[in-house]
């Protein structure tokens, strides 16, 4: 009896597995799949790309001596209904800024998610007799940031007369000069989507 039940379970599992949709790999460069009401990688890539291009075009990162500004990443707040990781947006911006050769990013200070704690940890080795002191990182070597990048992602859900819904995502960012506290650059990118009122956008 036990053998019969076990066999039935195995057969049922195989049938379910065989009928399930196959998993496909996404071609990130040629993704023709339909849009979703929530935010996906395409939205983050688009918003980050537009923000960096706007920042570079504004002249805010044009340093007179031809050197590069040091930017600290401050808080990027998620004010949407979704449990998204804002680091997805920040990472794309960081990579694009570094590639532009107009700025460098400090990981010594900033929001918790963008700080590399090893910057401080290695300096504790200065008084550790187990380490060759010529190889340790000395005090006074960390470079303080010139600018701070902060922002917010806002979501608005709007019910339409035809029963559909419109979801608007506002990507807002500011670049602040830390010595004066003045915003050298600000911009907003809006991504809007329309779909079924039954679609979930969180």
pLDDT at 153 over 60: yes
Residues 6+ apart with CB under 8 A from 33: 26
H helix or E strand, kind and range, residue 200: none
Sign of CA dihedral 186, 151, 34, 96: positive
Residue spans per domain, the chain: 37-196
**Contact, 202 vs 81, CB < 8 A?**
yes
| Residue 100, number of CB atoms within 10 A of its CB | 14
pLDDT-based confidence at residue 202 (cuts at 50, 70, 90): low
**Whole-prediction pTM:** 0.79
pLDDT tens-place string over residues 166-195: 999 999 999 999 999 999 999 999 999 998
Give me the CATH topology for the region 37-196.
Answer: Rossmann fold (3.40.50)
**Contact, 125 vs 131, CB < 8 A?**
yes
């Amino acid at each position: 009896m036990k053998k019969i039940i076990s066999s039935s379970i195995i057969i049922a599992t195989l049938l379910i597995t065989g009928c399930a949709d196959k998993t496909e790999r996404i071609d990130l460069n040629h993704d023709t799949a339909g849009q979703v009401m929530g935010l996906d990688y395409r939205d983050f890539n688009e918003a980050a790309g537009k923000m960096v291009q706007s920042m570079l075009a504004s002249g805010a990162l044009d340093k007179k001596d031809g050197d590069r500004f040091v930017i600290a990443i401050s808080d990027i707040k998620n004010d949407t209904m979704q449990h998204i990781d804002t680091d997805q947006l920040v990472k794309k911006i960081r990579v694009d800024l570094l590639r532009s050769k107009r700025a460098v990013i400090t990981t010594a200070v900033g929001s918790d998610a963008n700080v590399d704690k090893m910057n401080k940890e290695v300096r504790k080795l200065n008084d550790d007799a187990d380490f060759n002191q010529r190889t340790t990182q000395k005090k006074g070597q960390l470079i303080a940031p010139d600018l701070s990048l902060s922002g917010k992602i806002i979501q608005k859900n709007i019910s339409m007369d035809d029963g559909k819904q419109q979801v608007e995502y506002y990507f807002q960012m500011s670049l602040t000069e830390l010595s004066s506290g003045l915003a050298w650059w600000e911009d907003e990118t809006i991504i809007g989507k329309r779909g079924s009122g039954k679609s979930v956008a969180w």
